[in-house]
Chains A and B, each alone.
Chain A
């Protein structure tokens, strides 16, 4: 029984994004065994040691523990309370009706009514816990199920009998019966409120995970243009970015090799009679790579630009020096804005100031070359985000060719699907030969893949 409670609790933790391995589950069981369930605070401390392994997770753990172990976990025996409980409820329900037909007395009440009037709080909580189990409230997945599940719990608790009692009493004329009716009504409201609360809690603990996972999947796959409909895009981007940063900061560390550490190498060579059998290195090689990001912020591709800039700002820790440019009708460098404001405000500011229409890619390339062509070298990566729709003006691919000739690679992100490249005023076919790679970037998933590839490429260079 105890282990069921614990594994259930671990499910709740996992739902709250605290990763718990099988080995840790076993640890938790051992912890509970050696501490016992007697002292709540100590159990909490012990489980926290075994299950939550950094400061942030400890906070989540504390919240989950408080939620989960709010009333005593001893919610009945394991021998399926449902099977023995349900006939009881029906029984008493019928008894209630039968009693109503024969005499309008307050003595033939359903089990739930009797319990509400006489039973202790603990009994009621126990009954509620059983009903939750029986109605499978734990399987609640989406928020719209709350009403249905609440209704099921109410029925499992014997709510029909209670409703009958109240109806029967209201038909009776006796004063005592009316008083009883009022008392039961008040109690019924309480019961309903606590069911609502419990079901909401179950949803928060379990269902929320499912729907969050569902929403995350939807978020990653939906078009960047629609993303502003989601409330927590920002959190999602940060989550993706964190994963990438963790992955790549590790890779960077492994690759550090630099100047020979003469002292250590010589010391290590003593036992080998001065033959430097093992070399030691002192310094890491500085990553000299440079990144130039050029974003089209005209209205058609603005959304993509926003998320690309946010994403790059979020992985800034593992990126080399980055210069950002935006253009629509005008071309401007926005690197300083990012250091001045936070990434969020900077992006808002950028879109407010420079967004517009009438993109001219040729002019943009020319200005970019003039502004920073000198800085382009074999370690530079140029990222261009845009749809390549040049309003029927000359494409100016010779400038892009010049950029490509100086830089290490030119990566083009196109928010349009591949079937639209080259349609209408799109100059993509003219630009494409001068790009190291041109890829579609329509969803967060695309963006994540692009940034991951970029980081990998930068670090192996």
Chain B
């Protein structure tokens, strides 16, 4: 991992060269997280680039990205480590005879036990250990970027389990003892706010809130991601999406949907937004039947409001 970041501007530039356009706030968060070695909790509506941020940071810092996707019921076995049970069983089967030979001379139970103990913890050793993302991150030789995605989907217990990792970059495991990070990872946690995270977790993190981008920023994002779209069409589609976000919808169109829409319009060789075109492609932006119907009803008015000159 790159050890020194010169300035916030360096972050912005590097992100821009990867096509991740961000504002000062986001760049400051990455800069500070790397300087202070603190985890970052990223919150915001879905589709504003929370996960992308971790990926861009990994590319910027030239560090491997290790990702842990959280879901209801994720536990230590999925997040930290597991024993390779199948392999253990297979080995015992295969080694049965060998074990028999080894134990052949022993006549009493005690003697057998003693010999077995002499063999060491053969079956609970490195060979049979399956490291999961968190352990991988701690044992990685090169400081990685660790992304704990959608931590709000995990249970409360798992959240508490993360606390030790977040504050000291170490985890206590019954069979292995305390595992400390060889090199401190840069941790990103993302949350869609489906439930309130505990204060204990928030206290340990820097908290970054990414809202939907404003018009200028979204314009730049589209320009960076879908450069083939003409300037005038881009202006139009971005201001249309911005206007949609002000309406009362079940799910507001996210940045990723703006990008999809821009690509669709490109495929349709559109040069200008008109009512028929918007109606045809609205399902790219809106994912609920209700929303589509609401918007279609007021579409004429909305377009006239945006571009009064045309009608």
User: 8 Å CB contacts to A: which residues of B170-209?
Assistant: 196, 199, 202-209
What 0/1 pattern do residues 18 to 60 of A give for CB contact below 8 A with B? Answer: 0101011001001100110000011001101110111100100
Q: From residue 239 to 270 of chain A, which have CB atoms closer than 8 A to chain B?
A: 246, 250, 253-254, 270
A250 & B156 in contact (Cβ 8 Å cutoff): yes
**A270–B85 touching, CB < 8 Å:** yes
In the complex, the answer to whether B36 meets A271 with C-beta atoms within 8 Å is no
Q: How far is it, in angstroms, between the C-alpha of A41 and the C-alpha of B27 when the chains are bound?
A: 12
- B-side contacts of A52, CB under 8 Å: 207
The answer to the question of B43 belonging to the interface, with a C-beta cut-off of 8 Å to chain A, is yes
A271 and B43 contact, Cβ closer than 8 Å, known pairs A31-B32, A52-B207: no
Contact B43 A21 (CB under 8 A): no
The 0/1 profile, CB within 8 Å of A marked 1, for residues 205-228 of chain B is 111110000000000000000000
Choose from B24, B38, B43, B196 the contact partner of A45 (Cβ within 8 Å). Answer: B24
Which residues of chain B are near A58, meaning CB under 8 Å? Answer: 209
Q: Residues of B contacting A254 with CB < 8 Å?
A: 156
A30 touches B36 (CB 8 A): yes
Chain B: CB-nearest residue to A280: B73
In A152-190, which residues have CB < 8 Å from any B CB?
none
Known: A23-B203, A34-B32, A250-B156. 7 other contacts (CB 8 A): A31-B32, A45-B24, A45-B25, A46-B32, A54-B196, A54-B207, A253-B155
Query: What residue of chain B has the Cβ atom nearest to residue A267's Cβ?
Result: B85
Say yes or no: B85 contacts A271, CB within 8 Å.
yes
Cβ-closest 6 pairs across A and B: A53-B202, A271-B85, A53-B207, A49-B206, A45-B25, A45-B28
User: How far apart are the CA atoms of A50 and B32 in the complex, in Å?
Assistant: 10
Residue in chain B with minimal CB distance to A57: B207
Enumerate chain B residues within 8 angstroms of A54, measured Cβ to Cβ: 43, 196, 202, 207, 209
Contacts of B196 in A (CB 8 A): 54, 246
Q: B8 interface residue, CB < 8 Å from A?
A: yes
Can you list 8 A-B contacts (CB < 8 A)? A19-B199, A27-B36, A31-B32, A49-B40, A50-B206, A54-B202, A250-B156, A271-B83
Residues in B neighbouring A30, C-beta threshold 8 A: 36
Contact residue among A19, A46, A53 (Cβ-Cβ distance under 8 Å from B28): A46
**Smallest CB-CB separation from A282: which chain B residue?**
B73
Asked if B35 lies at the interface with its beta carbon under 8 angstroms from chain A, I say: yes
Chain A residue total in the interface (Cβ 8 A): 27
Instruction: Write out, one digit per residue, whether chain B residues 39-80 have a CB within 8 A of any chain A CB (1) or not (0).
Output: 011010000000000000000000000000000000000000
Option from B88, B205, B209 in Cβ contact (under 8 Å) with A55: B209
Give the nearest-CB partner of B40 in chain A: A49
Chain A 344-392 interface residues, beta-carbon cutoff 8 Å to B: none
B residues near A (Cβ < 8 Å) are 8, 24-25, 28-29, 31-32, 35-36, 38, 40-41, 43, 83, 85, 88-89, 155-156, 196, 199, 202-209
Task: Please determine whether A21 and B203 come into contact, CB atoms closer than 8 angstroms.
Answer: yes
Q: Evaluate whether A49 and B32 lie within 8 angstroms (CB atoms) in the complex, with A42-B24, A54-B207, A55-B209 already known.
A: yes
Residue in B24, B85, B209 with the greatest tally of chain A CB atoms within 10 Å: B209
List the B side residues contacting A50 at CB < 8 Å. 32, 206-207
Chain A hits for B43, CB < 8 A:
54-55
Known: A24-B203, A254-B156, A271-B83. A35 touches B88 (CB 8 A): no
Whether A35 contacts B83 by the Cβ 8 Å rule is no
Q: How far is the CB of A246 from chain B (nearest CB, A)?
A: 7
In the complex, what distance in Å separates the CA atom of A21 from the CA atom of B28?
A: 22
* A27 to B40 Cα, complex, angstroms: 13
User: Within the assembled complex, what's the spacing in Å between the Cα atoms of A185 and B66?
Assistant: 69
Give every chain B residue within 8 A of A270 (Cβ-Cβ): 85
A118 to B29, CA, bound (A): 44
The residues of A that contact B204 with a CB separation of less than 8 Å are 23
CB distance from B37 to the nearest CB of A (A): 10
Give the chain A neighbours of B207 by CB distance below 8 A: 49-50, 52-54
Instruction: Given A35-B32, A55-B209, answer yes or no on A42-B156 (Cβ-Cβ < 8 Å).
Output: no
- Provide the residues of chain A in CB contact with B28, threshold 8 Å: 35, 42, 45-46, 49
> What residues on B are CB-neighbors of A45 within 8 Å?
24-25, 28-29
Shortest B191–chain A CB gap in Å is 10
Task: Tell me the complex Cα distance, A41–B155, Å.
Answer: 36
Chain A residues within an 8 Å CB radius of B208: 49
**A253 vs B28: C-alpha distance when bound (angstroms):** 36
Chain B residues with Cβ below 8 Å from A49 are 28-29, 32, 40, 206-208
Q: How many whole Å from A280's CB to the nearest CB in chain B?
A: 8
Q: How far is the CA of A35 from the CA of B30 in the complex (A)?
A: 12
Give the shortest distance, in Å, between B186 (CB) and chain A (any CB).
Answer: 14
What are the residues of chain A within 8 A of B25 when measuring CB–CB? 45, 48
Could you tell me the distance between the alpha carbons of A423 and B155 in the complex, rounded to whole angstroms? 54
Interface residues of A in 263-294 (CB under 8 A from B): 270-271
Interfacial chain B residues near A271, Cβ < 8 Å: 83, 85, 88-89
